[in-house]
């Protein structure tokens, strides 16, 4: 007959308990070694007795490296997931705060526009009125300042234009002083040019008399003004050799 099922409970007999611990400890260490060899697994086994004595087995290079690897795989994932959860929770809280603030700002904007005033009491309405008065003063002050700035700019432009006009006038006067003939043309038009031309009394143009001849370029000579010189004859009664007598 085989052995019966052993009831799993604390062995009260101290000697039997120590004997059972030794047998099962050795069997557990043997199983850990077989598992590491047969399955090429990295196995680490730590056993503490009731008196605090340490029994260990490690198939890897060292127990410290195996424990470090175990901590990275176990606690590292917990540490990684924990910040994610904290970040998600923090982001959600920040979102709720921003959402509430946006709603407050939107309600305040509607109140400034004269909307949704029914839920407000008298004190809130007075605060809103005071805020509107302050805003209106700031708007008027800014408008006045802008108008003053524009006025200053226009005055500066006016001074610049006046200076430019004075400079142009000064250059024009200098030009007129340098060229006086041009100034006379401007004042009297072209009359100065015709005044400088010779008049009729200078002999260029003579008026025609009623009895004058039609010949142009010289005065008509009268019969008294014409003198004809007749060549004299020579002693032999002949004239000069170049003259032909008819």
3-state secondary structure of 56: strand
Q: What is the pLDDT of residue 52?
A: 84
User: Do residues 66 and 58 touch, judged by C-beta distance below 8 A?
Assistant: yes
Q: Tokens 């604390």: give the residue.
A: 10
Q: Give the number of other Cβ atoms within 10 Å of residue 111's Cβ.
A: 19
pLDDT tens per residue, range 154-201 = 999 999 999 999 999 999 888 888 877 665 666 655 554 455 555 544
pLDDT category, 141, cuts 50, 70, 90? very high
Closest Cα partner for 113 from 132, 90, 92, 89?
Answer: 132
pLDDT tens for 123-136 read 888 888 898 899 89
| 71 burial level (CB within 10 Å; 0-12, 13-18, 19+) | exposed
Which of 36, 27, 26 shows the shortest CA–CA distance to 58? Answer: 36
Read off the pTM: 0.33
pLDDT of residue 119: 81
User: Whole-number mean pLDDT of the chain?
Assistant: 76
């Amino acid at each position: 007959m085989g052995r019966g099922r052993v009831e799993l409970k604390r062995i009260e007999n101290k000697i039997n308990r120590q004997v059972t611990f030794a047998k099962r400890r050795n069997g557990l260490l043997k199983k850990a070694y077989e598992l590491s060899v047969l399955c090429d697994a990295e196995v680490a086994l730590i056993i503490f007795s009731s008196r605090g004595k340490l029994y260990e087995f490690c198939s890897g290079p060292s127990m410290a490296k195996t424990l470090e690897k175990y901590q990275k795989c176990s606690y590292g994932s917990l540490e990684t997931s924990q910040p994610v959860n904290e970040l998600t929770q923090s982001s959600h809280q920040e979102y709720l705060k921003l959402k509430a603030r946006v709603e407050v700002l939107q309600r305040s904007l509607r109140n400034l526009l004269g909307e949704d005033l029914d839920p407000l009491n008298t004190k809130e309405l007075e605060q809103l009125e005071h805020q509107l008065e302050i805003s209106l003063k700031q708007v008027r002050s800014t408008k006045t300042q802008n108008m003053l700035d524009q006025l200053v700019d226009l005055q500066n432009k006016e001074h610049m234009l006046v200076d430019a006009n004075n400079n142009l006038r000064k250059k024009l006067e200098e030009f007129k002083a340098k060229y006086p003939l041009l100034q006379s043309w401007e004042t009297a038009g072209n009359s100065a040019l015709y005044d400088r031309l010779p008049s009729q009394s200078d002999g260029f143009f003579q008026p025609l008399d009623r009895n004058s001849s039609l010949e142009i370029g010289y005065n008509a000579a009268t019969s008294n003004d014409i003198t004809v010189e007749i060549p004299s004859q020579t002693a032999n009664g002949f004239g000069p050799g170049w003259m032909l007598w008819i």
